[in-house]
Structure 1
Amino acid sequence: MVLAIAALSITLFSCGGNSNNESKTVTIKDSESEVKITANVDQKKVPTDFPSDYYLIKGSIDNVITLKQGQQQIVTIYMHVESTSKEVRDDILKNMEEKGWKTKMNVASQLYFTKGKKILRVGLTKDGNQTGLSYIATY
């Protein structure tokens, strides 16, 4: 699935109470394009239907943003993880299967899962605004 980045508009999570929002520039990439978006993001807000508790245990969340293209919603979560080893990939695969996601593709640094009409992409990236490796989870 190719994202038409130019057609995407940003929608922020609504955050009640004392939130930890700040303005950051976030780089969103796909196979054909790249765009930098500056927006207020809640660094700790995760969608309630996000499919894995693994990330909250093993990694620290840097940014959460929501993009909308028509009726489709794409949630991207940037985070640092402790390791990029095979054990981490195996943990993700096991955790996702336990939560009802089917492995669609498992190649290089990309994992694709499906559950009903949802598609989840988990990948490794080097984000220009952060040091080290981060996982991006998009669905």
Structure 2
Amino acid sequence: MSKNVKNNALAQNKKARHDYNILETVEAGMVLTGTEIKSVRASRINLKDGFAQVKNGEAWLMNVHISPYDQGNIFNHDPLRNRKLLLHKKQLKQLGEETKKKGITLVPLKVYLKNGFAKVLIGVAQGKHEYDKRETIKRRDQEREIRRTLKNY
């Protein structure tokens, strides 16, 4: 019997695509405790202020809030603890080199389940200026208006 191949988005960082230009994306596994994975499966995760770093040849997911599990006991986890990301050595090396460039950061874009494992989509991102954000909003509104007028005809 084949494994469940369902991409189920549990959390998304919608603000990331507004604040950053995403240059490329990388899928990574997360090292989670028992109560953390139960909270993640219940979609009790917030990526809004999260970021990733490569330190000493390891990737870490920082400042991502996973709410404590409701039925957890004394073994419940710290909601803001740093979580290790599982990547191949080549990917770690490449991400480490990318983040050394000025203005490049690693941003979590979404968390989902794949074959029963929690995965995070990490974006190699470059910050946008305020005028770039306004341009993006203007372009999106124009495209929406074009679709609306074409729909009516």
Do Structure 1 and Structure 2 share a fold, with TM-score over 0.5? no
Of Structure 1 and Structure 2, the greater helix share is in 2
Tell which structure's C-alpha radius of gyration is larger: 2
Of Structure 1 and Structure 2, the greater strand share is in 1
Structure-2-length-normalised TM-score: 0.27
Structure-1-length-normalised TM-score: 0.29
